Structure 1
Amino acid sequence: MEKFQKIKVLLLRAEVDAEKFYLSNNIAAGHRLRVHMQELRNLAQAVSFDIGNLMN
């Protein structure tokens, strides 16, 4: 459940940078957003792996 909580927090951080990037065309925010999305992908894969282990 800890990883799921991390996903929620990271998504909130990503939302702030997404607004800055899309609404203000802030390039640095776009870079941070890409990093957040990569971290989200990695955490999602870890959660998926954990779920698979718990189901077996």
Structure 2
Amino acid sequence: MSRYQEVKDLVDSLEADFTKFYENGNKAAGTRVRTGMQAIKNLAQEIRTEVTAIKNEAK
């Protein structure tokens, strides 16, 4: 479950940058949002791989 917490923490850490970008038009915050979203994507892929491996061990 620690991986789930990592995803939640990462999403929470981007909240301020989302606000700065969408409400204030801060382009630097947009770059941070894009970088953070890429990190979330990579983490999600790692979790998918891990879940598949665990699921296949059970067979």
Larger radius of gyration: 2
* Whole-Å separation in 1 of the counterparts to 2:5 and 2:41: 14
Q: Once superposed, which parts of structure 1, at least 4 consecutive aligned residues long, lie more than 3 Å away? A: none
Cα displacement (A) at 1:11 = 0.3
Partner of 2:16: 16
* Whole-Å separation in 2 of the counterparts to 1:49 and 1:30: 29
Partner of 1:27: 27
Q: If the length of structure 1 is used for normalisation, what is the TM-score?
A: 0.92
Q: How many residues align?
A: 56
Q: Describe how 1:1-56 pairs up with structure 2 within 5 A.
A: 1-56=1-56
* Whole-Å separation in 2 of the counterparts to 1:13 and 1:21: 14
SS in 1 for 2:14: helix
Root-mean-square deviation (Å): 0.8
Structure with the bigger RCO (C-alpha within 8 Å, sep 6+) is 1
* Whole-Å separation in 2 of the counterparts to 1:53 and 1:47: 10
Q: If the length of structure 2 is used for normalisation, what is the TM-score?
A: 0.88
